[in-house]
Structure 1
Amino acid sequence: MKIALNEARCSGCRTCQVICSLHNFAENNPKKAAVKITGHFPSPGHYEITICDQCGVCAAVCPAEAIIEADGIYRIDKEKCTGCSECIEVCPSNAMFRHPAEKAPIKCVSCGQCVELCQRGAIYDADAREVQ
């Protein structure tokens, strides 16, 4: 699945954040969500969606080789991760972050749960349909 964004359609409901944390951590904790919604109001008046685009820069710099690619998706091996945060520092989309309760950084693994529940199509599967 290739996750794509149409920020103009985002209403800021943050359902994507809730389902992300529930699916990946079994917690209703949007602060652990790998998708971030940032409101820019009153000006310019829109929501910004931040999510990993699976570029692989993080894997290239990981000294522990804890970020592994499989089928175009980069995942963090929590057992190998040393918590150095080098991946976070180089992420060009600022989509990786650290949560105090987790040893390894958090990033999107393209599970698709946010795509399934985004009622407005702001987050969608680019492989399944064309940009609207």
Structure 2
Amino acid sequence: MKRLAKKVELCTACQICEDLCSKTYFKEENREKSSIRIETGEKGASSINACTQCGVCMEVCPALAIYQDKNGVIRIKKDLCVGCFVCVGFCPVGAMFQHHEYLEPFKCVACGICSKQCPTGAIFIEEVI
């Protein structure tokens, strides 16, 4: 299984990852539309929030719109999603997001775009067995 891993102690809270994510998937730099969220503290990041690919959202989706692909990545079938956002409320790490401009939730799909541009290596793609 592939997932975005993190080392919060290396994060400087530059927020390049948030900008890249929102620009890649929503065509604008808007951190509210990023599937990775950086919480800042006094000395950089206090947390890096991204989907762990745990699958709890699949279990609670009443429309069966959430599934696990062959690489172990949890994905959302937008054509099946009814926009109830139950998955957002039940995500144990708070990594399923919603934005008022969209009818469906969104989350990290471990694409790795953000990790390729992270200047400190605080986020990276890892294979989990």
TM-score under structure 1 length normalisation: 0.88
Shift of 1:124: 1.0
User: Secondary structure of the equivalent of 2:47?
Assistant: strand
Structure 1 match to 2:101: 101
List structure 1 runs of 4+ shifted beyond 2 angstroms. Answer: none
Q: Which runs of 5+ in 1 are unaligned?
A: 128-132
Q: CA RMSD in A?
A: 1.4
Pairwise CA distance, 1:40? 2.7
In structure 1, the residue matched to 2:21 is 20
What fraction of aligned residue pairs are identical, expressed as a percent? 40
In structure 2, the CA distance between the partners of 1:34 and 1:46, relative to structure 1 (3 Å rule), is: closer
Within 2, Cα distance between the matches of 1:60 and 1:88?
12
Match of 2:7 in 1: 6
1:121 aligned residue: 121
Spell out the pairing of 1:66-81 with structure 2 (5 A cutoff). 66-70=65-69, 71-81=71-81
1:46 Cα offset (Å): 4.2
Asked whether 1:56 is paired with 2:45, we answer no
Q: Tell me by how many angstroms 1:39 deviates.
A: 1.2
What per-residue deviation string (whole Å, max 9, x for no partner) do you get for residues 68-96 of structure 1?
Answer: 21020011111111111110111011111
What are structure 2's unaligned runs of at least 5 residues? none
More strand by share: 2
Q: Distance in 1 between matches of 2:126 and 2:74?
A: 18
Tell me the amino acid that sits aligned with residue 10 of structure 1: C
1:99 aligned counterpart, secondary structure: coil
Correspondence for 1:47: 46
